[in-house]
Structure 1
Amino acid sequence: MQGDVFLLQEVHLRDEEDVSAFTREWVWGPSGWSVGGVHSDGVGILFRGFSFVIEEVVGFIAGRVIFVDCTFMSVKYRIINVYAPAQGGRRLEVIRELPGCLSTSRSLILGGDFNICLDVGRGGARAGEGGVDYSARALERVVGDFRLLDTFRKVHPGDAGYTWRNSRGLQAAWTTFSWEGGYVV
């Protein structure tokens, strides 16, 4: 297993009993979870290693947005995991709430499945049924307002970066943003 922090989406947690079971089963370090429902939501953040000290876990939007305030090697982080709905209107609601958890003095890491492609050169911010996808524009504003940087794109500028594919040939990219003045991990 490679990596130290894992952001999970669509984990289908039913209740706090599932949270307890998932927490017990992840024996490699601390974890944080947000229950959403068994159909298409629920998010978690897993840490590999006990050098991560979790100070607070906040289910910011139940089953859709979670953040963990933690310290690693004397640096204070806020790690945010998003699983935005596929439906444009519901996705826009989630994205409009993000500034509430991005406002911190900690180094930020924001990642997850936004169900949006912002990279115009690799597919573009897709249009919704009515034309413009306002949730894509809203996410672009959040990224700009908080001076976030797409860390994958920074390290791999020419790579398509697809992280999900299905048997019908559909593919999508998973994005991680970090604060430009912070650390890229």
Structure 2
Amino acid sequence: MSEPIDPQEGINVNTQSELRLDEVDLKLIDLLLSGHTTRQSAQILERPLSTIQRRARLLIQNGALKPTFELGYSRLRVKKGFLHVYLDDGNVSDAVDKLLARDGIYSVGAHIGNSDIVGFFVFQDSREVLDLIAWTKQMNGVERVVWSEEVYAMSTSPKLTKILGKNKREKTSKRVTTTTTKK
């Protein structure tokens, strides 16, 4: 069983792969997701750079953060599109596999809610989009295909300190309520 990591490290992982993040970890995640470097984050959090770099590395190693690279779409003269696929047979895994094998498709996700599958693809001209839609419509089990082009995207920090901190407070208050009721 893993012992808790030194409080200076922050992250605690036990054998059931439960990830426990402290307030500094949550603030660091918010800062990194909003585009700050580890150096900037260290200054904002008033912690040594080496501590923040170590925490960031542990967050990545433990799966709380995933480092990613993104294309410079306009620099490469390509556009970013989303393919929304609706199935009538519910065979999501086969459709996902077929879409992933297609050139130009970067990722495919199974969704609950509106469309069954959302694929992210890149293209240079409308003919490529037309070909992709026609090809997708011919796949077995496909009921409908809708697509959209991303014009621009903006992001913000998800404010994990509020989201996850709230869950922690709710659990604590439930425990207190339960304990109080038993007395």
TM-score bin, normalised by smaller chain: under 0.3
Structure in which a larger fraction of residues adopt strand? 1
Name the one with the larger helix percent.
Answer: 2
State the TM-score, normalizing by the size of structure 1: 0.25
Normalising by structure 2, we get a TM-score of 0.26
**Structure with bigger gyration radius:** 2
Greater RCO (CA < 8 Å, at least 6 residues apart): 2
